[in-house]
Chain A
Amino acid sequence: MEPLEIAENIREKFPEEVLDVREFRGQVSVTLRKDRILDVCRHLHDSPDLFCDYLVDVCGVDYLGRKEKRFEVVYHLYSIRHRHSVRLKAEVPEQDAEIDSVTSIWAGANWHEREAFDLYGITFKGHPDHRRILLPEDWEGHPLRKDYPVKGPEKEWSGFQDVLDRAKRFHEFEWHEPGE
């Protein structure tokens, strides 16, 4: 199916949900409300004409100060059988940064969603293992947000001092020559 046809199909099935359809370089992005994202994804996955069995990627985007709703969660879907692809974008506001998890449809979404949570602070409802993934458990802040500085905050990560202390302690170990 052509990418625009897929967008039309989604619009027919979920007229309330689709906010915008855009094409650029032959790739189509469908912007959606976040509330029924799970239904839209299930439709794309199960319908025999669409059959998007391969979830390429899930990632977050931060539009701080550029869009009314700050975050977007972007899904790249591909159908290995039909060889077509589509991009879904769900708008997520900052106050209620929460969206349904699609791990029940694609098992591969698990780590991608954890990463989006880790780096953007978007919560995925119904995720089986909702933890940070790349950063330590006690890290403060979400680094890929646009208001997070590129050069780290002045305060070091709490675990870092521990590492330094330990290194210092081991460094001070007194070695004895065998003949002494």
Chain B
Amino acid sequence: MENTETGERTVETKDLQISMGPQHPATHGVLRLVLDLDGETVKKCTPYVGYLHRGVEKLGENRTYLAALPLTDRLDYISSMNNNVGYVNAVEKLFGIEAPERAKFIRTIVAEMGRISSHIIWLGTHVLDIGATTPFLYAFRERERILDLFEMLCGARLTVSYPRIGGVKNDISQEFMDELYDFVLDFPSRIDDYETLVTENRIWKERTVGIGVISAEEAVNWGLTGGTLRGSGVDYDVRKYAPYDAYGQVDFDVPVGRNGDCYDRYIVRMQEMRQANRIIQQCIEKLPTGPVMADAPKFTLPSKEMILKDMEHLIHQFVLISKGPAAPEGEVYMGSEVPKGELGFYFISDGTGKPYRMRVRAPSFVHASVLPRLCEGGLVADVIANIGTIDIVLGECDR
């Protein structure tokens, strides 16, 4: 447009509001972001969540402690093993029972397998969003091996419900151990493969270094946890700060970043996979013998063999299934380190078989809330990098 008085050309600009999602492939589920744009710059970012809200907390209040376990599979559905482990640990703390040593080691093994498979998905999708296709295909190759192992272990690949209150469903077989050990020996070289493709890649670095920077104090203030927090240089990890299961008995490092940008969070998660592999290896080598279910007849189901043989056990099982194990009155919060961050379960028990209040503290929910802080002032293309780097799953965010 030409200014008639001065003859200069002026450009008329106007702010644009666009809605990214809820069906956008890069939003990892049904996350909707309303972006106010000034050209390529994001002036304001407003996330909308809740498209996957199923009322897990309300459902949990209406189910017994034993029956609410499968609900936790459906929180963060790509690492259901870790959610189960977090849930059963919290319930065990409330009941005041403890799983046998062998069960603790098995849970640690499966939780770390879950961590690897979740991080692999994160890696694949995060780099795919930014434009690298190959690591995605490589990553799914390894994830497939883990899912096959899960299937060998308990028959399910995704919604496993394998850890149970008081232990695990069944013991692990020698065949499983051999396969897993093969995987463990092989996996570090696979991480090397990914890193060769991505870590020093110039395009990758230009897209992630200095993007979505958040300082250590601010990250803690926002309540970030997991790799998202550790990328900023805070070594908070529930596995180290309040060890549960066998984490107190294995040796592992907590990798931390320095700059708190997307690149550091990437490095942290890559290192975490190596550490998870280390933990699995140690657990296999140290695995003690013994039972895999706690001897706590008030809270755990009797074995199938006994139920078929004995009337008392049948009645006992019937009562536990229909009324639920009566928890002592009180309240318990317990956090556990899932791939996304700290997953907390908070139970208020009124002495019956169902929790009076079941609260799920979901890391993805907190991480999604920090998106405006990361995105505002940046470019539209960086929004994609930021969504990938906070590693959210909307099933867990919306509950």
* A and B associate: yes
Q: A interface vs B, CB < 8 Å?
A: 24-25, 27, 29, 53-57, 59, 61-62, 66, 74, 76, 80, 83, 87, 106-112, 115, 119, 133-136, 143-144, 150
Stretch binding the partner chain, chosen from B50-58, B114-122, B140-148: B50-58
Q: Are A61 and B357 in contact (CB under 8 A)?
A: yes
Is B264 positioned at the interface, with any CB of A under 8 Å from its CB? no
**Which residues of chain B come closer than 8 Å to A74, judged between CB atoms?**
346, 359
Cα distance, A56 to B332, chains bound together (Å): 14
Cα distance, A54 to B369, chains bound together (Å): 15
Q: Are B348 and A108 in contact (CB under 8 A)?
A: no
* Nearest CB on A from B371, distance (A): 11
Q: Are A134 and B49 in contact (CB under 8 A)?
A: yes
Number of CB contacts from chain A to chain B under 8 A: 91
Known: A56-B344, A74-B346. A29 touches B221 (CB 8 A): no
Q: Are B332 and A24 in contact (CB under 8 A)?
A: yes
Interface string of B222-233 (1 = CB under 8 A from A): 111000000000
**A80-B220, A119-B57, A136-B50 known, 5 other contacts, Cβ within 8 Å:** A29-B331, A54-B220, A59-B361, A61-B348, A108-B223
**Which residues of chain A come closer than 8 Å to B241, judged between CB atoms?**
80, 83
- Contact-residue bracket for chain B: 35 or more
Measured CB to CB, the nearest residue on chain A to B399 is: A134
10 shortest A-B CB distances, which residue pairs?
A108-B223, A24-B330, A134-B50, A111-B369, A57-B361, A134-B53, A108-B222, A59-B359, A107-B222, A80-B236
Cα distance, A134 to B217, chains bound together (Å): 28
* Nearest CB on B from A10, distance (A): 18
Q: B interface vs A, CB < 8 Å?
A: 49-50, 53, 55, 57-59, 62, 93-94, 96, 217-218, 220-224, 234, 236, 241, 330-333, 335, 342, 344, 346, 348, 350, 357, 359, 361, 365-366, 368-370, 373, 398-399
Cα distance, A106 to B220, chains bound together (Å): 9
Cα distance, A59 to B96, chains bound together (Å): 24
Q: Are A76 and B333 in contact (CB under 8 A)?
A: yes
Q: Are A25 and B58 in contact (CB under 8 A)?
A: no
Q: Are B220 and A53 in contact (CB under 8 A)?
A: yes
Q: Are A54 and B236 in contact (CB under 8 A)?
A: yes
* Nearest CB on B from A160, distance (A): 14
**Which residues of chain B come closer than 8 Å to A80, judged between CB atoms?**
220, 234, 236, 241
Q: Are A56 and B222 in contact (CB under 8 A)?
A: no
Cα distance, A109 to B104, chains bound together (Å): 34
Q: Are A59 and B366 in contact (CB under 8 A)?
A: no
Pairs across A and B, CB under 8 Å, 16 listed: A25-B96, A27-B331, A54-B223, A56-B223, A57-B344, A66-B350, A76-B333, A106-B222, A107-B218, A107-B373, A108-B223, A115-B365, A119-B57, A133-B49, A134-B53, A135-B50
Q: Are A144 and B369 in contact (CB under 8 A)?
A: no
Cα distance, A93 to B17, chains bound together (Å): 41
Q: Are A108 and B366 in contact (CB under 8 A)?
A: yes
Cα distance, A150 to B373, chains bound together (Å): 36
Measured CB to CB, the nearest residue on chain B to A152 is: B55
**Which residues of chain A come closer than 8 Å to B369, judged between CB atoms?**
108, 110-111
Q: Which of A24, A62, A112, A143 has the most CB of B within 10 A?
A: A24
Cα distance, A150 to B342, chains bound together (Å): 28
Cα distance, A167 to B398, chains bound together (Å): 24
Cα distance, A136 to B22, chains bound together (Å): 14
Measured CB to CB, the nearest residue on chain A to B365 is: A111
**Which residues of chain A come closer than 8 Å to B348, judged between CB atoms?**
61
Cα distance, A27 to B330, chains bound together (Å): 10
**Which residues of chain B come closer than 8 Å to A110, judged between CB atoms?**
369
Measured CB to CB, the nearest residue on chain B to A144 is: B58
**Which residues of chain A come closer than 8 Å to B218, judged between CB atoms?**
107
**Which residues of chain B come closer than 8 Å to A134, judged between CB atoms?**
49-50, 53, 398-399
Cα distance, A111 to B366, chains bound together (Å): 7
**Which residues of chain A come closer than 8 Å to B333, judged between CB atoms?**
27, 56-57, 76, 87
**Which residues of chain A come closer than 8 Å to B94, judged between CB atoms?**
25
Q: Are A150 and B58 in contact (CB under 8 A)?
A: yes
Cα distance, A143 to B53, chains bound together (Å): 12
Kindly identify which residue among B57, B236, B366 contacts A144, using a CB–CB cutoff of 8 Å: B57
**Which residues of chain B come closer than 8 Å to A133, judged between CB atoms?**
49-50
**Which residues of chain A come closer than 8 Å to B53, judged between CB atoms?**
134-135
Measured CB to CB, the nearest residue on chain A to B242 is: A83
Q: Are A24 and B331 in contact (CB under 8 A)?
A: yes
Q: Are A150 and B62 in contact (CB under 8 A)?
A: yes
Cα distance, A80 to B233, chains bound together (Å): 13
**Which residues of chain A come closer than 8 Å to B342, judged between CB atoms?**
56
**Which residues of chain B come closer than 8 Å to A27, judged between CB atoms?**
331-333
Cα distance, A61 to B344, chains bound together (Å): 16
* Nearest CB on A from B232, distance (A): 12
Q: Which of B93, B218, B350, B366 has the most CB of A within 10 A?
A: B366
Q: Are A55 and B223 in contact (CB under 8 A)?
A: yes
Q: Are A57 and B332 in contact (CB under 8 A)?
A: no
Measured CB to CB, the nearest residue on chain A to B52 is: A134
Cα distance, A119 to B344, chains bound together (Å): 18
